[in-house]
Amino acid sequence: MTTRPGCRSEGTPGGAQTKHAIAAAREAAIAEGVRTPGGPLHRYYKWELLLLLCLAFFFHQGDRAIYGVVISGIRSDLGLTDAQLGLVGSILFLTLALMMPFAGFLGDRVKKNVVITCCLIFWSAATLFTGCVGGILGLILLRSVATAGGEAFYAPAAYPLMAKFHRRTRALALSMHQAALYLGVMTSGFLGGWIAERWGWRSAFFAFGGCGIALGLVFIFRLKDPPDPLPDDAAEKSGVRGLMEAMGIIFRIPTALMLTVGLTAIVFVNNAFIVWAPEFLREKQADLSLALAGGYSMFWHHLPALVGISIGGPLSDWLVVRRPTMRLELQAFAMALGAPSIILMALAPDLTVACIGLALFGWFRGLYESNTHAALFDVIGRRHRASAVAIMVMMAFLVGSTSPWLMGQCRQWFGERHGLSYGFAGLSLAYCVGAAAVAMARVAFFRRDRLVE
C-alpha cells in the first residue's frame, strides 16, 4: 500500500494493515477476473458484467427519454398543458433525488447484483404500465414516482460494482457504460418516435418496458457480486448513525463537493434537454415529424457525446498516471467550452445550425462525463462509494428537477415560437458555474484530497 505526500490513504494503523493488504490483494484478484473465495468467475467476467450493465443503462435512459419523444402525442391525447408536461418531468427527477440517500445506504450494505436486478424489473414494469394512464395523476404516479423510485437504486450499486472489477481500466469501463446512455437515448429518439407514429404513444412505453423486464430475468442468473473485500474491522456502521455518516461524506471532502456542483450543472441542462429537445427542434422547423424531431435531437447530440466519452475515458486513464489532476482539467475544459455551444444551439436561426450546436454541446458533454465517477473515486474510498454516488446524484437532481418545469414556463412566457430557445440559452449559465467549481477543486483542494489506494 503506497501513499504520496499530501494525499490521503485508505490504510489503517497497527495489525489491521495486514488485513487490509490481504483485502487489497483479493480485490485486485477480483478485478483481474480470477477465481475468488466468494465464487468462481471466469477471467473475462468483468467484461461480461460491463456488457450486462450497459444493457441495463440502455433501458434506464431509453425509458426516461421516450417521454420527451412522444410528449406531443401525450399532450393532444390527454389534453395537458406545457407546464403540466414539464411538471411530470420535474417530479420524476425530484423523486429520483429524494430516493438517492436510501439507495446509497442500501448499495453499501446489500449485494449489488440483487439491488440492480430488482430495480431494473421495477422501473421497467412502471414504464410498461405508463402506457395505460388516462391523465396527469397517472403520469405522475407511474412516469415520475414509480419509474424514478426504481431508477434511483441503479447508479449507487452499479458504479461501485464496476469499480470493484475494473482497476486499471476503470475510466474506460465507466466511459463505455456511459456510452450506453447515449445509445439508449438515440435509439429511443428514432424508435420511440417511429412506434408512436405507427401505433400510438402508448405502444412505445409497452415496448421499452417489456424489453427491460426480459433483461431483468437474465440478470437473475448472470449478474454476480463477490463478497466485499474489506476486512471485518472495517465494517460500516449500521442504522441511522451509519446513514448520516454516509450522507456527509461528500461535504467532508471539498473536491467531492466541487465535483457535485459540476455534475449538478450537467444534470440541470440534461434534464431540460431530455424532456424538451424534440419540441425545441420543432420550434426551429415546424413541419418536422415526431420521428425526425425525436431522432435528430437525440442523434445529433448523443453521437458526438459518444465519441467524446470514448476518447475522454482512455485518454484520462493514460495521462492520469503522469498527471493526477488530468481528470479535473479535462472536465473544467469541457464545461467551459460547452457553454457557448449551448448558446449556439439555442439561438440558431434554423435547424441546420441548431444541429451543429447540438453536436458541439454533445461532444463537450461526453468529454466531461467520461470522468464523472472516476474523478469522484479518486477522492472517495471503497467503503463509501455507493453512498457518495448517491448523495452526489441526489444533490444534482434536486436542483436539476426544476429545469423541465422552468422550460415549460419559458414556453408559456415567451410563446411557442421562441420560448424554448430563450430557455436553453439561459441554461448555459449553469455550465459556467460548473466549470468554475471544478477548476477551483483542481487548484485548491485536489492534491490534499486525493486518495491513493
pLDDT in tens, 260-318: 999 999 999 988 887 788 888 877 876 777 667 777 777 888 889 888 988 888 888 88
Is a pLDDT exceeding 50 seen at residue 234?
no
Alpha-carbon span 148 to 14, nearest angstrom: 45
Supply the pLDDT for residue 84.
85
* Residue 272 or 183, more confident: 272
Region at 451 (left for phi over 0; alpha for psi -120 to 50; beta for the rest): beta
The upper half-sphere exposure of residue 188, i.e. CA atoms within 13 Å in the direction of its Cβ, equals 34
The domain locations on the chain are 38-224+238-452
pLDDT mean across residues, the chain: 80
Range picked from 86-90, 325-329, 434-438, 448-452 for highest mean pLDDT: 434-438
Q: How confident is the model at residue 453 (pLDDT cuts 50, 70, 90)?
A: low
Q: How confident is the model at residue 228 (pLDDT cuts 50, 70, 90)?
A: low
pLDDT tens readout for residues 381-440: 777 777 788 888 888 888 888 888 888 888 878 777 778 888 889 999 999 999 999 999
Handedness of CA 74, 80, 81, 84 (dihedral sign): negative
Which whole-number Å values give the CA distances from 302 to 25, 186, 274, 360, 362, in the listed order?
A: 39, 6, 11, 10, 6
Q: How confident is the model at residue 237 (pLDDT cuts 50, 70, 90)?
A: very low
HEC letters along 131-185: CCCCCHHHHHHHHHHHHHHHHCCHHHHHHHHHHHHCCCCHHHHHHHHHHHHHHHH
Is a pLDDT exceeding 80 seen at residue 41?
no
pTM: 0.69
306 phi/psi in degrees, rounded to 5: -60, -40
pLDDT tens readout for residues 18-33: 444 444 555 555 444 4
Is a pLDDT exceeding 80 seen at residue 371?
yes
Supply the pLDDT for residue 274.
79
Residue 11 grid coordinates: 490504510
Q: How confident is the model at residue 363 (pLDDT cuts 50, 70, 90)?
A: very high
- Kindly state the average pLDDT of the residues 191-201: 84
Supply the pLDDT for residue 9.
54
Supply the pLDDT for residue 218.
93
Q: How confident is the model at residue 243 (pLDDT cuts 50, 70, 90)?
A: low
Q: Identify which of 224, 93, 103 has the alpha carbon closest to the alpha carbon of residue 153.
A: 103
Pick the CATH number of 38-224+238-452 from 3.40.190.10, 1.20.1250.20, 1.10.8.60, 1.20.1260.10: 1.20.1250.20
Is a pLDDT exceeding 50 seen at residue 372?
yes
pLDDT tens readout for residues 315-352: 888 888 888 899 999 999 999 999 999 999 999 888 88
Supply the pLDDT for residue 290.
67
* Cα 205 to the center of its chain, rounded Å: 21
Is a pLDDT exceeding 90 seen at residue 222?
no
Q: How confident is the model at residue 242 (pLDDT cuts 50, 70, 90)?
A: low
Supply the pLDDT for residue 39.
52
Supply the pLDDT for residue 35.
47
Alpha-carbon span 222 to 216, nearest angstrom: 10
Is a pLDDT exceeding 90 seen at residue 185?
no
pLDDT tens readout for residues 99-139: 887 887 787 778 888 999 998 999 899 889 988 988 888 88
Supply the pLDDT for residue 263.
94
- Kindly state the average pLDDT of the residues 78-87: 83
- Kindly state the average pLDDT of the residues 35-39: 46
Supply the pLDDT for residue 428.
92
Is a pLDDT exceeding 70 seen at residue 247?
no
- Please check whether residue 402 is in contact with residue 87, taking contact to mean a CB–CB distance below 8 angstroms: no
pLDDT tens readout for residues 123-182: 899 889 988 988 888 888 887 777 777 788 888 888 888 877 877 777 778 778 878 877
Supply the pLDDT for residue 257.
94
